[in-house]
Amino acid sequence: MIYLDHAATSWPKPPAVGAAMTDFLERAGGNPGRSGHRLSIAAGRTVYDVRETLAEFFGITDPLRVAFTLNATHGLNTAIQGLLQPGQRVVTSGMEHNAVMRPLREMEKRGVKVDVVSADTHGTLSPAAFAAALEGGARLVVLNHASNVSGTIAPVKEIAVLAHAAGALLLLDAAQTAGVLPIDVTQMGIDLLAFTGHKGLQGPPGTGGLILADFFDSAQLDPLVHGGTGSRSEYEIQPDDLPDRYESGTPNGVGIAGLGAGLNWLQQRGLDALRAHELELSARLREGLGNIEGLRLYGPGDPGLSTAVISFTLAGRRVSEIGYRLDDEYGILCRVGLHCAPAAHRSLGTFPEGTVRLAPGPLTTLDEIDTVIRAVARIAAA
């Protein structure tokens, strides 16, 4: 079996991830921050250690500004719903996932003005277009760091400068890039960053977070969920302390332990080395697929301008047929359709059918890429 669906979730997980989760349940299975006994303390120590690792990984100094969430979608909703009020304006791009577009459309119903900056047919965003869109000012800019359809990487630093000049905050959706591309929240001018643990960070599902930059005033952001935090229990109102303000309810301690193991695995190998491997895979895959008659590739032609996510269509073939045959006849697992990102497919010109998406990962080999190219060529010729 060749697994090429890392843009949906990474697999297989590093063995240390499962081992860390088992160890947490057996040795530190208490409720972190809720009790003073040894199991609760051990659980709390595990959660805080991962919080510290994430703060360093994303370039912030205060670990308490890492708020754990269920996934990137949860983090994005926390930011979008906690920041925006009726009458305010938000600017986003034509390459966004529904994790952004659906909460924005919901806020639009409540009186928030939503403006979408178009992308070109490669998924590329123009800073000049954002500058024009921000001339009237905005409360928030929401940006996908890299498309889950075409892999196209957005010019984050340039757009962050434009957003701040217009008085707007920048919320970055790093679902596709956390653990794939280097991200320094401070240097890149990111006010809020939403990430998921189960993709590039190699952690388990049900993990993720919202990073608050050191320079971001948390008083601006209302919590999405209210409830018990294990702190300030004498009050029936949500505490202002970080990260408790955004972490109501028992945290996913076992998942966070697994996420920490995934982070350690990444750091041992090094993001630069993993990115170099990804670029080699992307180049081979693009070159091989590009030689198949009737096949159209989407996204930038230069692998350096995208993640390893590659989408294609084949003239005269439905994407569902291609995906089924790759799985059934060749044991190649990919994803087809709209990938929960209709806005991106409209930008690329692939709506409403979508594309076949191939997304290799850290353990994918060049031999496997060659096997995939041959399989697609056979399907195209049959």
Task: Show Cβ contacts of residue 94 under 8 Å, excluding neighbours closer than 6 positions.
Answer: 116, 117, 118, 119, 125, 343, 344, 346, 347
225: helix, strand or coil: coil
- Inter-axis angle of helices 98-109 and 72-83, nearest 10: 30
Alpha carbon distance 207, 26 (integer Å): 20
The domain that contains 340 carries what CATH number? 3.90.1150.10
| Positive or negative: CA dihedral 358, 364, 369, 371 | negative
**Statement to judge: residues 278 and 234 lie in one domain:** no
- Per-residue pLDDT at 82: 98
pLDDT of 34 reads: 84
Q: Which residues of 33-59 are buried (b: 16+ CB within 10 A; e: fewer)?
A: bbeeeeebebbbebbbebbebbbebbb
- Identify the domain boundary among 247, 268, 289: 268
CATH number at residue 142: 3.40.640.10
Domain final position from 223, 247, 268 = 268
98 and 136 belong to one structural domain: yes
DSSP state of 14: P
Residues 47 and 195 in one domain: yes
Kindly state whether residues 236 and 276 are assigned to the same domain.
no
Give yes or no: residues 174 and 61 share one domain.
yes
Please give the tally of structural domains in the chain: 2
User: 311 is written with which tokens?
Assistant: 């989408």
| 274 and 137 within one domain | no
Of 268, 285, 301, which residue constitutes the final position of a domain? 268
In a shared domain, residues 241 and 330: no
* Beta-ladder partners of 358: 310
- Residue 281 and residue 366 share a domain: yes
d(CA 200, CA 8): 10
Do 316 and 213 lie in one domain? The reply is: no
Q: What are phi and psi of 113, to 5 degrees?
A: -90, 125
Shared domain check, 263 and 275: no
* 94 and 129 fall within a common domain: yes
Say how many C-beta atoms besides its own lie within 10 A of residue 331's C-beta. Answer: 12
Which range marks the domain in which residue 318 is found? 2-10+270-381
Residues of the chain with pLDDT under 70: none
pLDDT at 18: 98
Residue where the block lists tokens 């360093």: 56
Mark whether 140 and 264 lie in a shared domain: yes
pTM of the shown model = 0.97
Per-residue confidence (pLDDT) for residue 382, from 0 to 100: 84
pLDDT for the residue 35:
84
